[in-house]
Amino acid sequence: MTPVEWAMRPLKKYAQFSGRAPRAEYWWFNLFLMIGYVVAMLVDRLIGSKVLGPYGLFAGLLWLAVIVPTIAVGVRRLHDTNRTGWWMLGPIIPYLVGFVLILPTMKNPENSPALASAAVAGILMLIGMIMAIVIFIFTVLPGTKGTNKYGADPYGADVEQVFA
């Protein structure tokens, strides 16, 4: 398959969370997605669009369009390494809880209890970052050869021929 075909597979399997995704599918999709974000952000800057902070209309629309296939291909990639897709929540939950805890500090920065919650939020953000690194490592690892509990090998029976 060509890189473009690999990158398009997650869009064709838009909300398919079952099965397995090989490294090529995951990484080509993410590369094309990053290129798409750069282009969208450049267009946003050229037209002066700012919807949420530095992010403009086109970057926001791209994010909305690809959030489901991005999570789905991540889950399938974890399945390929014989891990549950629930690992994807590892970085998300600490970030969300940390964001909620830091909100009182943003409203009243001199409030002592708010500063304590900001410290806890910082720790949670650090945990989220560590979990993101763990997920990254999982996605770089080779997939399970042959069938695992999440399905058949995405490269088929002749895995060795693909890399030969």
- Distance CA(85)–CA(82), nearest Å, equals 9
- For 107-156, the pLDDT digits (tens) are 766 666 666 777 888 899 999 999 999 999 999 999 999 899 999 988 87
- For 6-38, the pLDDT digits (tens) are 999 999 999 999 999 999 999 999 999 999 999
**SS3 state at 97:** helix
Closest CA relative to residue 101, chosen from 117, 80, 79: 117
The full set of domain ranges for the chain reads: 1-82
- pLDDT value for 112: 62
Verdict on whether the full-model pTM lies above 0.85 = no
